[in-house]
Amino acid sequence: MFGSLKALISNLVEYPRLQNQFDNMDCRLATAALLVRVATVRSEMSEARRGKLHAVLKSSFGLDDLTTVQLIEDAFAADRIAIDLYHFTRQLNDDLDDEGRCRIVGMMWEIIYFGGNVNEFEANIIWRAADLLGVSSRQRIELRRRVAANTATLAPVLPTLQDRRRGRDSLVGDLGAQPGSTE
């Protein structure tokens, strides 16, 4: 518990310095495209995962909602025409220092762990991207552990999208019931 709180505070302190590295729009687009690739490696992106992608990009880059939506659309377009990960990782290697590249790998883990279990395809694409970004195996594994621990800590506190939908649907069902009915 204290470890995840310490990591959160550490990230908040580092945030302004990393923010300057991400001011380059090409860097933001490359990051978003990598995150899109990771988020869709298993299948089409769910609305819940799209929401997580939106939240991660918005908070990491300090964007407003409209700009974040446009960045995601541009990232989907860039990902569709990309042959491999190298185009994106080369751009990020040119623009970011080691901490910035580690932050990208951490963002990838955040997107993947939001969906629950990590499958072999998701872990493999993060391994390949981390390798191309020059993030060591030790750093990648530590980032994975940190994100998994943070996700496990937050999971009991945060309701899932399905829980919210179930709650809304039961409320609508209760409101729609006729007096005297057994619904």
CATH number, position 69: 1.10.3680.10
Q: Residue 134: left if φ>0, alpha if ψ -120 to 50, beta else—which one?
A: left
Asked whether residue 183 is domain-assigned, the answer is no
pLDDT tens sequence across 63-114: 999 999 999 999 999 999 999 999 999 999 999 999 999 999 999 999 999 8
Tally the domains of the chain: 1
pLDDT (mean) for 30-52: 91
Residue 43, burial from CB neighbour count under 10 angstroms (0-12, 13-18, 19+): exposed
Question: Any idea which residue has 């829980």 for tokens?
Answer: 163
pLDDT tens sequence across 105-143: 999 999 999 877 888 999 999 999 999 999 999 999 999
Asked whether residue 181 is domain-assigned, the answer is no
115 by DSSP, 3-state: which?
A: coil
Domain range for 20 is 2-176
Asked whether residue 53 is domain-assigned, the answer is yes
Question: Any idea which residue has 């939240």 for tokens?
Answer: 55
Asked whether residue 50 is domain-assigned, the answer is yes
